[in-house]
Structure 1
Amino acid sequence: MLGLLGMKTGALNFDFVFSENGQFYFLELGPRNGGCLIPEVICHATEIDLIECTVNAALGLPCNGLAMKPTQGYWSSYMVHSLKSGTFKELWLSDQIKAKIIEQDIWVKPGDKVNKYLGSNDTLGTMILKFDSMEEMLEMVDNMERDIRVVVQ
């Protein structure tokens, strides 16, 4: 497919799903980096700046330093969502999760109307988290509602 499109250099994002009966559905193919802070997390984990490489590729410049590298640490992005609609009061964070937050960007303030999460347009903010081990990361991500809560009235 890339050959048919004439793509030789640059970012490529694709999304697909499998239905419950195993049917493959191709949803998207686009010349861009992935969403949900994926390039930023990769940069933290590998020190490879995919955003810079994407811009350089678009300008016809070399993508120096672009190589597969092992990750350093255990990283995750997290999209902040509300479990119900209402008026945003606060973002409650446990002490345990506060110690893991490397970057945080919250787009709402107290008094703003928020919606129960139904799609990406209901996202209230983003975080990049660093964990001490794979086990810790998986356990905390699987139980994030214990450590991060959007409080609404």
Structure 2
Amino acid sequence: MFHPNPANFALKELMPQEYIAKYGEGAIRFLNPLLLISLQQIRNRFGRMVILTSSQQQRSLRTLQFFINQEKPKGGDWQTRANKLYAESGSMHKFGNAFDATMLDTPLQKVHDYIAANPDEFPFIHFIECDITWLHVDVRNQPDITFWSPTRGTVKVVKQQPIDWSKLVKI
């Protein structure tokens, strides 16, 4: 399986600590290799970024613990709320298909613009959230790249060449 360059990304940056404690280096298996390839591509093209996953802010794999940490301070029946939110979440983070990063070397809009102008350079990225202050990308199973805003909805859809999987594997 693909692992991003450890000189660029530490496992503790990508994975929740409880998964590292339980699975060690094998915790990386919970992240989609297409996401990890895309992460490394973005790092190679645009420079340094910070992902820094913690139990409060899980910026790659999002576990039940994330929802517990969001709900527990609110008191009351936080366990039921956290379990319900986790169960109902369709977030690509939950499935190891998304990451959030703060770009350090390249302005975020420049990253968005470049990917939109060169979509086939990033064949596995199919969703980018915009109108936020960090980079959110995911590798959901859909054609093209959807640029989506939490305030405006779908902003644009950028066409990509479909991946010819038969060139990679015998189907």
Q: By percentage of residues, which structure has more helix?
A: 2
By relative contact order (CA 8 Å, sep 6+), the higher-ranking structure is: 1
TM-score surpassing 0.5? no
Q: What is the TM-score with the length of structure 2 in the denominator? A: 0.29
